[in-house]
Amino acid sequence: MFGLSSQTVAVYRRLLGYLEPAHWRVLGAASAASVVYAGVGVLVPQIMAEITEGFGTPNRTLAEAIIVPIIIVAALVVRGIVDFLIVYGMSWVGRAVVRDVRSQLFDHYLGLPARFYDANSTGLLISKLTYNTEQVADATSNAVVVLVRDSLTILGSLLWMVYKSPTLMLLVVVVVPSVGFVINAMSRGLRRYSERIQSSMGDVTRVTEQSLQGQRVVKIFGGQKQETEQFDEINRRNFRMNMRLIAVRAGGDSLSQAVVVVGVAAVVFVASWVLPDVTASLFVGFTTAMGMVVAPFRRLVNINAVWQRGVAAADSLFATLDEPVENDSGVKTLGRARGDVEYRNVSFAYDPAKGNVFQNLSLAVPAGTSVALVGQSGSGKSTLVSLLPRFYDADSGSVLLDGADVRDYKLRDLRRQISLVSQDVVLFDDTIANNIAYGSLAERSREEIERAAEAAYVTEFAAGLPNGLDTRVGERGALLSGGQRQRVAIARALLKDAPVLILDEATSALDTESERRIQSALARLMQGRTTLVIAHRLSTIERADRIVVMRDGAIVETGNHEQLLERRGYYSSLHSLQFTS
């Protein structure tokens, strides 16, 4: 009745795989408590039957009169305590599982390749981590409680009925499968809509995130209407899906309740007409027992929705967890590289259908030298440098560091050799100092951090901030200017002191004046390192040992500044277009 397709079973299995021995013990204890709960529940119709019988007996002693109320109070207190233990224990297990799945997912996200992020919006990924895991939590805590506790309660009541009157009980048994049938039809609908709700929640997050991040663009270009309309449409879709889900759930709920009521009516009829020997006390006990079945049954029906949603959510979480992480099969270790970089016949495509970005590209950058990549935007400069730290892997040919394919190194060792300062600097919501000493640099001494900050002209602006280097930069570094962010990123690269340096438009947000001052810092940063620099400012390019001119993913010219200008080729035309005002 819970839609046991093979896929569903696989999801259950996998969720069970998260249970540790301690979880099993708690689940066992909670199940045992559920048996107690159901057992106490059986007492209720029995007590009701006995009270009814007692009304016929005159001249009772005080002791006889008080025993039943005492039992009633005691039973309810026990039931209350046991219920607390069941709910707490089972929820603890469910929450613990979700906590683990969530951590695992977060971990997994960080290991996924750049390609995955190209194809999946962060909104969707965030909603998976928050919304989907929450639904799994619902299904694995509430649903399990209801499933175990309420099924046992129903079972207990049925057993009591069988014991008292098998004939009457048979009627109930006729009712149950009819309700089961209704539930089954419902669960298919529930599942379909809960999947759609999940995807529409992802849309809600995605669009919100985009609009909020781009709020300045939205304001200046008057995009409110467009953004609102887009959001409304998605929000309405979410509403429609939710309403359909609710309709299926509520309709099924009423329907199953109606079936139960018909069952009760049948019992009343059979008891009074077909079976005239049914006593008043038996009849009261029976209707009490049936009444006690209805609430758990309704909960079971409702919980089915939660359960189905949880399964759909878990299924999509597992699908993401099964996404392959970055390929890290290299075994070569590397302490500190000399820094020989070579691209050998490299071909690469983001999407084979859209054609190659590079075709058999070759380029050698000897250790300690610098190469400036020049070319129009879209010519493939950023893509070329992103192959070196293996954000993407070449489709054919190879990228070599110190003569060995980058794929042969352990990923950690490879990336330790490379510093990167890119156009869009990513800062974390932390202090300037902690942003400079980020990640593996966290161990560096305060002196080293200060020296890097000084050299990258961070100190210059940090001195004017309330807490100097210990000033927080806000989300994504929003409290700093673009140029200040880039200086922090340069300080970070200085501190890392890696043999290979990638500067991808690292100074694009600096004004000419700041850049001139930071040139010496950059020059110092480039000294003795293999540097791949993408820049459109003449000053940075001139300084490079060699200039490589790219056009549509191919290297069309190389040489130093003077040689290239003399050739009067593509570089010189780019140069006159871009660098002269």
Judged by CB under 6 A, the number of residues near ligand ADP is 11
Task: Compute the least distance from the CB of residue 383 to ligand ADP, in Å.
Answer: 3
Minimum distance, C-beta of residue 402 to Mg ion, in the bound complex (Å): 26
Decide: residue 35, CB within 10 A, 0-12 exposed, 13-18 middle, 19+ buried.
Answer: middle
The answer to whether 93 touches 27, Cβ cutoff 8 Å, is yes
Q: Write the DSSP assignment of 93-129 as a string of letters.
A: HHHHHHHHHHHHHHHHHHHS-HHHHHHS-HHHHHHII
- Tell me, residue by residue from 316 to 355, as one string, x for binding to ligand ADP by CB under 6 A and - for no binding: ----------------------------------x-----
Please, which residue, 91 or 359, has the CB nearer to ligand ADP?
A: 359
Per-position x/- string for 93-122, each x denoting binding to ligand ADP as judged by CB under 6 A, each - no binding: -------------------------x----
Residue 190: CB atoms within 10 Å: 23
- The residue to which tokens 């890290």 are assigned: 328
302: partner contacted, choices Mg ion, ligand ADP, none (Cβ within 5-8 A by kind):
none
Q: How far is the CB of 346 from ligand ADP (least distance, A)?
A: 13
For 76-115, b where at least 16 C-beta lie within 10 A, e where not — what string? eeebeebbebbbebbbbbbebbbeebbeebeeebeebbee
Binder of ligand ADP out of 31, 287, 382, 519 (CB under 6 A): 382
Among ligand ADP, Mg ion, none, residue 383 binds (CB under 5-8 Å by kind)? ligand ADP
Find the binder of ligand ADP among 202, 285, 296, 375 (CB under 6 A). 375
CB of 365 to ligand ADP, least distance (A): 17
**Alpha carbons 248 and 254: distance in angstroms, whole number:** 10
Shortest distance in whole angstroms from residue 420 CB to ligand ADP: 14
- Cβ–Cβ < 8 Å for 312, 353: no
Q: Which is closer to Mg ion, CB of 257 or CB of 382?
A: 382
As beta bridge partners, residue 532 has 371, 502
Q: Which does 142 bind (CB under 5 to 8 A by kind): Mg ion, ligand ADP, none?
A: none
CA-closest candidate to residue 150, choices 321, 269, 297 = 297
Q: What is the DSSP string of 454-516?
A: HHTTHHHHHTTSTTGGG-B--GGGTTS-HHHHHHHHHHHHHHH--SEEEEESTTTTS-HHHHH
Q: CB of 116: closest distance to ligand ADP in angstroms?
A: 11
Give the residue, chosen from 381, 390, 487, 492, that forms a contact with ligand ADP under the rule CB under 6 A. Answer: 381
Smallest distance, ligand ADP to C-beta of residue 506, A: 13
Stretch that binds ligand ADP, among 185-193, 225-233, 336-344, 375-383 (CB under 6 A): 375-383
- Whichever of 28 and 378 has its CB closer to ligand ADP, that residue is 378
Cα gap 10→4, rounded to integer Å: 10
Distance CA 430, CA 136 (A): 32
Radius of gyration of the chain (CA): 35
Per partner kind, with CB cut-offs from 5 to 8 A, the member of Mg ion, ligand ADP, none near residue 380 is ligand ADP
Binding track over 372-391 against Mg ion, x by CB under 5 A: ----------x---------
- In the complex with ligand ADP, the residue whose CB is nearer, 94 or 375, is 375
Q: Which of residues 493-532 bind Mg ion (CB under 5 A)?
A: none
Q: Check residue 403 and give left, alpha or beta (phi > 0: left; psi -120 to 50: alpha).
A: left
> Would you count residue 377 as binding ligand ADP (CB under 6 A)?
yes
Edge-to-edge strand ranges of the sheet holding 404-405:
358-365, 341-348, 396-401, 404-405
Shortest separation between residue 552's beta carbon and ligand ADP, angstroms: 9
Please report how close the Cβ of residue 422 comes to ligand ADP at its closest, in angstroms. Answer: 10
Q: Under the phi-then-psi rule, with left for phi > 0, alpha for psi from -120 to 50, and beta for the rest, what region is 355? A: left
- Return the half-sphere exposure (C-beta side, CA atoms, 13 A cut-off) of residue 80: 6
The answer to whether 389 contacts ligand ADP (rule: CB under 6 A) is no
At 549, give phi and psi (nearest 5°): -100, 125
Q: Is 383 in the site for ligand ADP (CB under 6 A)?
A: yes
From candidates 296, 380, 483, 499, binder to ligand ADP by CB under 6 A:
380
Question: Does residue 359 bind Mg ion (CB under 5 A)?
Answer: no
- Quick one: residue 396, left, alpha or beta (phi over 0 = left, psi -120 to 50 = alpha)? beta
Q: Which does 229 bind (CB under 5 to 8 A by kind): Mg ion, ligand ADP, none?
A: none
Chain residues in the site for Mg ion (CB under 5 A): 382
Chain residues in the site for ligand ADP (CB under 6 A): 118, 350, 357, 375, 377-383
